[in-house]
Amino acid sequence: MLHLGTLVNLLASAPFVSGEELASRLGVTRTAIWKQVGILRELGYQITAHPRRGYHLVARPDKLYPWEVGRDLHTELIGKTIEYYEELPSTNRRAKELLGSATEGTLILAETQQQGRGRLGRSWFSPPGTGIWLSLILYPSFPPAELAKLNLLAAVALSRAVLATLAFRPLVKWPNDLYYQGRKLSGILTEVGGELGRLEYVILGAGINVNQKKSDFPEELRTKAGSLRMIKGRPVNRRLLLCSFLECFEEEYFYALGQGFDRCLAYCREHTATLGRPVEVDNGQKVYRGQAVAIAEDGALIVEDGGERFRVITGDVQLLAGPDLA
């Protein structure tokens, strides 16, 4: 079976490429090429055919096909294997099915999710083609106690990727959301398995709001959620952002495996949407209010209320007031 990505690369290698040349380069018949070009057109590629000059690639679709992601991805591990779907119930759910057989760093992508999962049992709005809905499969050699920091690490990587590709820096809201001007741009849901002090696997799911317009969000999210397009005032290239995120994630992950999380924690403390703010914390059992004062060495959030300090290890944090919430 001919690899579609190879055909796209050949088509992109010159303004015009004849069917004959493609056939000989790929060791197939001209009819096979013609059929594959038809498939590419169905996938959204604009390809014209000229009687004497051959095929001409006019435009690529805004899709996260593995070969499109692969052409600008410079990583050793993260995203080297990609499973791509037009739609899935949930990429995290698919990742769970692949555990064991999938190698570390395997990336699952879907253009849309019908049952996207959020933290604390919530659902995640995942419309087609406008966001990046992904899951990464990891088998880290961290003890489970490091999980809070791994959550932060993913948010740090995404904040750095946005800075690198779009020239502004979203802030990290504990435990792992990214915020900008009071709106949530992305959320991360990690699901783990393991026993007796050993993390067996981590499924790191990230939802990134890229190209939604304000009116695309359901009414109940319209005042809270934002997208990168809303900030930049123009559509954003999902593919390049995704590549940058995977590269930043790999860099942070390898660094943490070798040298620990200090650098990642320092980033979270410096570029924070949480610290210094009055917050309401819901840890699933109790809701309490206080001032977010620190992120501890183990990644826990320290909240102070009337001189008393609490450690928050898991839970949801709501920002109660602040300069960009007005």
**CA end-to-end span of the chain, whole Å?**
57
196 dihedral zone (left: phi>0; alpha: psi -120 to 50; beta): left
Reading the block at residue 249, the tokens are 């994630």
**Cβ distance 251 to 243 under 8 Å?**
no
* Closer residue to ligand BTN in complex, CB, 122/224: 122
Q: How far is the CB of 171 from ligand BTN (least distance, A)?
A: 15
To ligand BTN, the closest distance from the beta carbon of 117 in angstroms equals: 4
Q: Residues interacting with ligand BTN, by CB under 6 A?
A: 90-92, 113, 116-119, 122, 124, 126, 133-135, 177, 187-189, 205-207
- Residue with smaller CB distance to ligand BTN, 90 or 244: 90
Q: How many residues does the chain have?
A: 326
Of 54 and 187, the one with the shorter C-beta distance to ligand BTN is 187
Residue 313 C-beta: closest distance to ligand BTN, Å: 17
Cβ atoms of 161 and 260 within 8 Å: the answer is no
Q: How many CA atoms lie less than 13 Å away from 249 in the CB half-sphere?
A: 27
**Which pairs with CB-CB distance under 8 Å and at least 24 residues apart come from 229-235?**
230/183, 231/166, 231/168, 231/180, 231/181, 231/185, 232/166, 235/211
CB-wise, 8 or 172, nearer to ligand BTN?
172
**Nearest-approach distance from CB 180 to ligand BTN, in angstroms:** 15
CB of 140 to ligand BTN, least distance (A): 18
Q: How far is the CB of 309 from ligand BTN (least distance, A)?
A: 26
Question: 107 with 141: CB under 8 angstroms?
Answer: no
d(CA 221, CA 209): 12
51 alpha carbon, distance to own chain's centre? 43
Q: Which two tokens stand for residue 304?
A: 């102070």
Q: Which residues contact 181 (CB under 8 A, 6 or more apart)?
A: 226, 231, 324
Residue closer to ligand BTN by CB (options 17, 95) is: 95
* CA quadruple 266, 268, 273, 278: dihedral sign: negative
Shortest Å, Cβ 134 to ligand BTN: 6
CB of 121 to ligand BTN, least distance (A): 9
Using Cβ positions, the residue closest to ligand BTN within the complex turns out to be 187
Distance in angstroms (rounded) separating the CA atoms of residues 208 and 165: 14
Measured distance CA(250)–CA(246) in Å, rounded: 6
Closer residue to ligand BTN, CB minimum distance, 17 or 108: 108
The alpha carbon of residue 200 and the mean position of all alpha carbons in its chain are separated, in whole angstroms, by 22
CB of 37 to ligand BTN, least distance (A): 32
